[in-house]
Homo-oligomer: A and B are copies of this chain.
Amino acid sequence: MSITERAAAARSAQRALGGADGATRTRALERLAELLEERTDALLAANRRDLEAADAEGLDAPLRKRLGLGADKLRTLIAGVRALAATSDPVGATQRATELDDGLILTQVSSPLGVLLIIFESRPDAVVQIGSLALRSGNAVLLKGGREAAHSNAALVACLRDALGDAGLDPDAVVGVAGRAEVAELLALDHLIDLVIPRGSGALVRHIQESTRIPVLGHAEGICHLVIDAAADPAMAARLAVDGVCDYPAACNATETILVHESFLPQFQAVRDALLAQDVRIVEPSSEPDWRTEYGDLVVNVRVVGSVDEAIDHVHRYGSGHTESIVTEDAAVAERFLRLVDSASVFHNASTRFADGYRYGLGAEVGIATGRIHARGPVGVDGLLTTRWLLRGTGQVASEYSQGIRSFTWRSVT
Given A113-B372, A343-B388, A373-B386, A393–B349 Cβ distance below 8 Å? Answer: yes
Within 8 Å CB of A345, what residues of B? 388-391
Choose the segment among A70-78, A148-156, A177-185, A232-240 that binds chain B (4+ C-beta atoms closer than 8 Å): A232-240
Chain B, residue nearest A210 (CB): B213
Is A62 part of the contact surface with B, judged by Cβ < 8 Å?
Answer: no
* Interface check A378, CB cutoff 8 A: yes
B209, B215, B391, B410: the one contacting A354 at CB < 8 Å is B391
Of A39-47, A261-269, A296-304, A334-342, the one touching chain B: A334-342
Complex contact B398–A354 (CB within 8 A):
yes
Q: How many angstroms from the CA of A71 to the CA of B372 in the assembled complex?
A: 39
Within 8 A of B (CB), among A332-380: 334, 338-340, 342-351, 353-356, 359-361, 371-374, 376-378
One complex includes copies of this chain to the number of: 2
Task: Tell me, rounded to whole Å, the shortest Cβ–Cβ distance linking A96 to chain B.
Answer: 9
Asked whether, in the complex, the Cβ of B398 is within 8 Å of the Cβ of A351, the reply is yes
Q: Which residue of B lies closest to A341 (CB)?
A: B388
Contact B100 A361 (CB under 8 A): yes
Identify the closest chain B residue to A350 (Cβ).
B393
For A403, the closest partner residue in chain B by CB is: B247
Known contacts: A376-B388, A388-B343, A388-B344. The answer to whether A396 contacts B350 by CB under 8 A is: yes
Set of chain B residues within 8 Å of A353, measured between Cβ atoms: 397-399
Q: How far is the CA of A392 from the CA of B360 in the complex (A)?
A: 12
Question: Mostly helix, strand, loop or mixed at chain A's interface?
Answer: mixed
Q: Is the CB of B347 within 8 A of A393?
A: yes
A394 within 8 A of B: yes
**Cβ contact within 8 Å between B372 and A194:** yes
On whether the beta carbons of A397 and B361 are closer than 8 Å, the reply is no
Contact at A399–B215, with CB atoms within 8 Å?
no
Q: Which residues from chain B contact A386 at a C-beta distance below 8 Å? A: 372-373, 376
Chain B CB count within 10 A is highest, among A209, A213, A325, A342, for A342
**Shortest Cβ distance from residue A122 to the other chain B in the assembled complex, whole angstroms:** 21
Contact in complex: A350, B391 (CB < 8 Å): yes
Is A111's CB within 8 Å of the partner chain B?
Answer: yes
Residue in B15, B372, B397, B408 whose CB lies within 8 Å of A240? B397
- Given A373-B194, A373-B195, are A348 and B392 also a contact pair (CB < 8 Å)? yes
From B92, B247, B349, contact of A392 by CB (8 A): B349
Closest-by-CB residue of B relative to A369 is: B386
Given contacts A15-B340, A247-B402, contact A388 B351 (CB under 8 A): no
Of the residues B340, B347, B350, B397, contact of A19 by C-beta under 8 Å: B340
Bound CA span A21–B334, Å: 16
A225 CB, nearest partner CB in chain B, Å:
14
A207 interface residue per 8 A CB criterion:
no
| Contact status of A347 and B114, CB under 8 A, knowing A106-B361, A353-B397, A397-B239 | no
A293 within 8 A of B: no
Q: Given A340-B19, A345-B389, A346-B390, are A215 and B395 neighbors across the interface (CB < 8 Å)? A: no
Q: Which of A398-414 contact B (CB under 8 A)?
A: 398-399, 401-402, 408, 410
Return A45 CB to nearest CB of chain B, in Å: 29
Within 8 Å by CB of A348, from B361, B374, B393, B408, lies: B393
> Does A98 sit within 8 A of B, measured CB to CB?
yes
Let me know if A348 and B114 touch, CB within 8 A. Answer: no
Q: Apart from A19-B340, A334-B392, what 19 extra A-B contacts exist at CB < 8 Å? A: A18-B342, A19-B339, A100-B360, A114-B342, A243-B398, A243-B399, A338-B390, A338-B392, A344-B388, A347-B390, A348-B391, A348-B392, A351-B398, A353-B398, A355-B389, A356-B398, A359-B398, A360-B389, A376-B389
Q: Would you mind naming 13 contact pairs between A and B with Cβ atoms under 8 Å apart? A: A15-B340, A19-B339, A98-B361, A108-B377, A111-B342, A114-B372, A195-B373, A243-B397, A247-B399, A346-B389, A349-B392, A349-B394, A373-B373
